[in-house]
Structure 1
Amino acid sequence: MGKAKKTRKFAAVKRVIASKDARVKQAKANNTNNTVKQVQKKDTDLVREMPQVSAALFFQYNQNLAPPYQILIDTNFINFSIQKKIDLFRGLMDSLYAKCVPIITDCVMAELEKLGPRYRIALRIARDEKVERVKCSHKGTYADDCIMQRIMQHKCFIVATNDADLKRRIRKVPGVPILSVGSHSYVVERLPENGF
Structure 2
Amino acid sequence: MPKCKKTKKFAAMKRMISAKDARIKKNQEKNEQKQKKTEDDKVRRIPQVPSSLFFQYNDQLGPPYHILVDTNFINFSIKNKLDIMQSFMDCLYAKCVPCITDCVMAELEKLGSKFRVAQRIVKDARFERLPCTHAGTYADDCLVNRVTQHRCYIVATCDRDLKRRIRKIPGVPIMYITQHKYSIERMPDAYGAPRV
Task: Give TM class, smaller chain.
Answer: 0.7 to 0.9
Higher helix share: 1
Q: In the alignment, is residue 176 of structure 1 matched against residue 167 of structure 2?
A: no
Shift of 1:61: 2.6
Which stretch shows the higher mean deviation, 160-169 or 51-60?
A: 51-60
Task: Describe how 1:95-134 pairs up with structure 2 within 5 A.
Answer: 95-134=91-130
Shift of 1:135: 0.3
Shift of 1:88: 0.5
Task: Describe how 1:36-115 pairs up with structure 2 within 5 A.
Answer: 44=39, 48-115=44-111
Give the distance between the partners of 2:107 and 2:46, measured in 1 at CA: 35
Residue number in structure 2 paired with 1:33: none
For residues 51-77 of structure 1, the C-alpha deviation after alignment (integer angstroms, 9 at most, x for no partner) is: 111232232231221000000000000
Question: What runs of 5+ residues in structure 1 fail to find an aligned partner?
Answer: 1-39
What is the TM-score normalised by the length of structure 1?
0.74
Question: What runs of 5+ residues in structure 2 fail to find an aligned partner?
Answer: 1-34, 191-196
| SS in structure 1 at match of 2:124 | coil
Question: What amino acid maps onto 1:145 in structure 2?
Answer: D
Residue number in structure 2 paired with 1:6: none
For residues 80-125 of structure 1, the C-alpha deviation after alignment (integer angstroms, 9 at most, x for no partner) is: 0000000000000001111100000000000000000000000001
Give the distance between the partners of 2:120 and 2:69, measured in 1 at CA: 14
Conserved 8 A contact 2:52-2:58: yes
Give the % identical residues. 62
Give the distance between the partners of 2:157 and 2:48, measured in 1 at CA: 26
Aligned length: 155
What is the TM-score normalised by the length of structure 2?
0.74
Q: Which has the larger radius of gyration?
A: 2
Residue number in structure 2 paired with 1:29: none
Structure 1 runs of 4+ off > 6 angstroms?
none
Question: What amino acid maps onto 2:99 in structure 1?
Answer: I
| SS in structure 1 at match of 2:72 | helix
Conserved 8 A contact 1:84-1:183: no
Task: Describe how 1:141-160 pairs up with structure 2 within 5 A.
Answer: 141-160=137-156
Residue number in structure 2 paired with 1:193: 189
Shift of 1:44: 4.1
Give the distance between the partners of 1:118 and 1:65, measured in 2 at CA: 36
Which stretch shows the higher mean deviation, 77-86 or 51-60?
A: 51-60
Task: Describe how 1:132-143 pairs up with structure 2 within 5 A.
Answer: 132-143=128-139
